C-alpha cells in the first residue's frame, strides 16, 4: 500500500515495526520514498498519517501511547486507520484524535495480500463526511472500491459483516469441493458447471482449485480471521444478535489451528473435512 502511494507521487515517510521489513521495503523503493526510523519521525510534520497493524492492542501501541502517532501529529491533520479492529477501539481513537483537533477515518480493507499488492483493495470507511473527503483521494492509490458507510466505527462494523460472509462462504465451499472429490468427478469441470450460476463468489473463483489441490498459502492467515470473527461475534452480542453460523465456523478454524494451520490462509478450512471415498 505504501508502495502505491510512492508510485502515485506522494511525499512519503514509511515505517514498520519490523526492522527487517522496513529494510526490505527501503531497498525495493529506493529513491521513491523516505523510510522513517521511528513513529515520531514518520508522523511529525505529516498532513496525513496512515496506519495498518494487527489488532486493537497493536493500534493502541502505535497510535495512543505517549510516544504514539497522535502525540506527534499537528492539529488539523488526519489519521487513517486500515487495521481491522473492534468498533469500540475505533471510537476510542476517534475521541483521542478529536481532543487533539485531528481528523480520523476508520477504514479497514478487504482483498488480502493480492489486493494490496495490485492496488485493488475494497475499503469500508467510518468517519465524518469532511474527514472521508480528505482521505478518499489518497486511498484511491491502492483501492478499487471505497465506500463511506457511516460515522466512526461503521467501517469496522462493515468489515465484521465482510468476514462473516467470507467465513460462511468458505464453509459451504469446503463441503462442495469435498463432495466433488468423493464422487470421483473432475473438480475443474464441477467448477466450470457451477461458477457461472448463483453459487459463484470471489472465494469460489480464486480458491476452488487451490482448495482442491491442498494449497493454503495465500496471505490472510487463520489467526487473523479468528481475531476478526471474535470482534464480529462480540459486536453481535453487544447488539443482542445471534450469529450461530459465524460462531460455528470460528470453532472450525480453531480445529485447523489445533492441526497446526494457524498461519495457513482461510481456505484451509477444508482440511477438517475428510476426502471420503475418491470414487463411487
Q: Residue 170's closest CA among 136, 206, 146?
A: 206
3 state SS of 81 = strand
Averaged over 234-262, what is the pLDDT?
Answer: 97
- What is d(CA 168, CA 160) in angstroms, rounded to the nearest whole number? 12
- Residue 159 annotated as catalytic: yes
Averaged over 226-255, what is the pLDDT?
Answer: 97
In DSSP terms, 105 is beta-bridged to 80
In DSSP terms, 125 is beta-bridged to 148
Is 224 within 8 Å of 261 (Cβ atoms)?
Answer: no
Q: Which tops the pLDDT comparison, 134 or 30?
A: 134
Listed in sequence order, the DSSP H helices in the chain are: 2-7, 19-28, 39-43, 56-59, 87-99, 112-118, 129-139, 154-182, 187-194, 202-212, 222-238, 244-258
Cβ-proximal residues to 151 (8 Å cutoff; 6+ apart), any chain: 126, 127, 128
Under the banding of pLDDT at 50, 70 and 90, the label for residue 273 is very high
Q: Residue 155's closest CA among 104, 116, 120, 95?
A: 104
pLDDT of residue 280: 32
Is 135 within 8 Å of 127 (Cβ atoms)?
Answer: yes
Q: Which tops the pLDDT comparison, 56 or 112?
A: 56
Give me the CATH code for the 2-151 domain, please. Answer: 3.40.50.720
User: What distances in angstroms separate CA 123 from CA 101, 109, 132, 178, one per listed residue?
Assistant: 24, 5, 12, 33
Q: Give pLDDT tens digits for 138-162.
A: 999 999 999 999 999 999 999 999 9
Averaged over 227-231, what is the pLDDT?
Answer: 97
Under the banding of pLDDT at 50, 70 and 90, the label for residue 278 is very low
- What is d(CA 167, CA 213) in angstroms, rounded to the nearest whole number? 20
Q: Which of 20, 32, 120, 159 is catalytic?
A: 159
* 96 pLDDT above the threshold of 70: yes
Under the banding of pLDDT at 50, 70 and 90, the label for residue 95 is very high
User: What distances in angstroms separate CA 56 from CA 135, 220, 230, one per listed residue?
Assistant: 21, 18, 12
C-alpha cell at 135: 482521505
How far does Cα 65 stand from its chain's mean position?
23
Is 256 within 8 Å of 222 (Cβ atoms)?
Answer: yes
Averaged over 105-120, what is the pLDDT?
Answer: 94
Under the banding of pLDDT at 50, 70 and 90, the label for residue 279 is very low
pLDDT of residue 277: 59
Domain ranges of the chain: 2-151, 157-272
In CATH, 157-272 is 3.60.20.40: no
How far does Cα 153 stand from its chain's mean position?
15
Averaged over 13-30, what is the pLDDT?
Answer: 91
* 125 pLDDT above the threshold of 80: yes
- What is d(CA 70, CA 49) in angstroms, rounded to the nearest whole number? 9
In DSSP terms, 121 is beta-bridged to 143
Query: Average model confidence (pLDDT) for the chain?
Result: 95
Q: Residue 93's closest CA among 67, 135, 65?
A: 65
pLDDT of residue 56: 97
Side-chain half-sphere exposure of 157, counting CA atoms within 13 A: 17
Amino acid at each position: 500500500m505504501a508502495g502505491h502511494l510512492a508510485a502515485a507521487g506522494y511525499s512519503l515517510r514509511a515505517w514498520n515495526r519490523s526492522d527487517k521489513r522496513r529494510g526490505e521495503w527501503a531497498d525495493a523503493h529506493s529513491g521513491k520514498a523516505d523510510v522513517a526510523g521511528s513513529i515520531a519521525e514518520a508522523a511529525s510534520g505529516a498532513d496525513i498519517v496512515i496506519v495498518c497493524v494487527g489488532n486493537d492492542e497493536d493500534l493502541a501501541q502505535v497510535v495512543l501511547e505517549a510516544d504514539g502517532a497522535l502525540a506527534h501529529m499537528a492539529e488539523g491533520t488526519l489519521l487513517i486507520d486500515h487495521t481491522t479492529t473492534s468498533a469500540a477501539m475505533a471510537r476510542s481513537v476517534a475521541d483521542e484524535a478529536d481532543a487533539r483537533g485531528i481528523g480520523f477515518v476508520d477504514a479497514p480493507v478487504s482483498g488480502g495480500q493480492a489486493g494490496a499488492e495490485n492496488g485493488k483493495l475494497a475499503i469500508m470507511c467510518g468517519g465524518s463526511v469532511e474527514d472521508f473527503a480528505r482521505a478518499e483521494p489518497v486511498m484511491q492509490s491502492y483501492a478499487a472500491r471505497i465506500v463511506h458507510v457511516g460515522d466512526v466505527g461503521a467501517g469496522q462494523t462493515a468489515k465484521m459483516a465482510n468476514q462473516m460472509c467470507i467465513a460462511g462462504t468458505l464453509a459451504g465451499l469446503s463441503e462442495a469441493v469435498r463432495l466433488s472429490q468423493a464422487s470421483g468427478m473432475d473438480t475443474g469441470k464441477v467448477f466450470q458447471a457451477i461458477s457461472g450460476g448463483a453459487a459463484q463468489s470471489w472465494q469460489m473463483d480464486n480458491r476452488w482449485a487451490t482448495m482442491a489441490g491442498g494449497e493454503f498459502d495465500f496471505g490472510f492467515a487463520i489467526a487473523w480471521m479468528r481475531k476478526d470473527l471474535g470482534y464480529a461475534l462480540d459486536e453481535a452480542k453487544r447488539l443482542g444478535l445471534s450469529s450461530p453460523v459465524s460462531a460455528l465456523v470460528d470453532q472450525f478454524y480453531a480445529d485447523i489451528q489445533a492441526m497446526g494451520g494457524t498461519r495457513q490462509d482461510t481456505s484451509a478450512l477444508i482440511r477438517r473435512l475428510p476426502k471420503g471415498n475418491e470414487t463411487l
